[in-house]
Amino acid sequence: MSQVSADHPDATDSPYSWFRLGVCLILSTIGGVGLWSSVVVLPSIELEFGLDRGGASFPYTATMIGFALGGVLMGRLVDRFGIAIPVIMAATMICAGYVLSSFAPNFWTFLACQAVLIGMLGSSATFGPMVADVSHWFLKRRGLAIAIVASGNYLAGAIWPPILQEAIVSIGWRGAYFWVGVFCFCTMIPLALLLRRRPDIDQGSVPVAAKAATASAPVSPNVVLMLLVVAGVGCCVAMSMPQVHIVAYCGDLGYGPAVGAEMLSLMLGLGVVSRLASGVIADKIGGVGTLILGSTLQCLALLFYLPFDGLVSLYLVSALFGLSQGGIVPSYALIVREYFPARQAGSRVGIVLMATVLGMALGGWMSGEIYDLTGSYQAAFLNGIAFNLLNMSIAFWLLYIRRPKGPKAAVA
């Protein structure tokens, strides 16, 4: 990146950078409604269209798949046009998706609106692409900045469900969907216009970590990207086991689903704390070090689920799990910025974060299948640990290949 004065609006870590981060966080929180609305509306959809529980749950899976694929598409658009245009497109698609869903004559129309308009062409622009954009505006505090904007989907999960539930009770799910679409359009468009300025990216820059990797081993960028995708799937298959199944697990143990819901809330709340703390840590030790730290703690927490199934111990282990896993996903965005040129940030971050979303979807399904086969969640926890170890092995390999053979290169 070209050198500019500290008070220049395009300077990294400038007051404008922090203002832009705040706008991105708000956009991420608003646009994140797409990840949670299908969960809240599930009972209403089940009744409205005469579905069983599995059928009513499918819109969530379809939305997540669309969200994952859309992250790559929107990331490419960010690399080419900047973040403002994709977010304006996303706001329009979110509005169209919710308004059309509110008039859906059948389940398949509703499903298509959720998966394509809301998930793939809408909410996807407010996660990976937003993270990639923010990464251009920070250097010293890049880890913290990425962690903050990546917390938007967690905040959306805390803010939107009670609002939607109250709206459904008051005006029905169709009315709630209609006004969510209108609200997103009216708020996201003006916010997106505040992000029209594009970062000053040095098109020829190559990160120091990428130079070190090339010097120490003949590793192509595509191989590194492929391994990051595998690692992203692995860590999130492990992460999904408690997040998706803790409510059912507590029910099986006789504590009831309400207790499981409390543990899930505890995980997600501490996940925000973990995400922010990991951002500070990442600015000290880098993305790979943060990934190793978070993955190691996540693995320990999964191990603790095996021998401890008492009520108090489950709360403690769930708290530990929440504190361990929050910083893992944002660390991948940092690693991409360390190993790939800035001009590729949108597409590369989108691909890797897509893998984490698919890992969550795969792990949730896989753990359920393992439970059906074995009648217990013990094997599912072991499966999660195995995938977590795969992720850790790749992280340690990345740490090894970036060790410089000679004198350390100065940070540009």
Angle, CA 78 vertex, CA 127 and CA 279 arms, to 5°: 40
Q: What is the pLDDT of residues 374-403, one digit of tens each?
A: 888 899 899 999 999 999 999 999 888 765
- DSSP reduced 3-state for 203: coil
DSSP 29: H
Q: What is the pLDDT of residues 258-290, one digit of tens each?
A: 788 788 878 878 888 888 898 889 888 888 999
- Architecture of the domain defined by 208-401: Up-down Bundle (1.20)
Q: How many whole angstroms from its chain centre is CA 348?
A: 14
Torsion, CA 400, CA 72, CA 364, CA 60, rounded to 10: 160
Band of residue 252 on the pLDDT scale cut at 50, 70, 90: confident
How many other CB atoms are found less than 10 A from the CB of residue 53?
9
pTM value?
Answer: 0.76
Name the nearest CA neighbour of 358 among 117, 151, 64.
64
Band of residue 7 on the pLDDT scale cut at 50, 70, 90: very low
Give the largest CA-CA distance in the chain.
Answer: 67
pLDDT reported for residue 117: 96
Fold exhibited by the domain 15-193: Growth Hormone; Chain: A; (1.20.1250)
Q: What is the pLDDT of residues 68-81, one digit of tens each?
A: 889 888 888 888 88
Torsion, CA 318, CA 319, CA 324, CA 326, rounded to 10: 100
- DSSP reduced 3-state for 136: coil
CATH 1.20.1250.20 placement within the chain: 15-193, 208-401
Element (H, E) at 296: helix 257-305
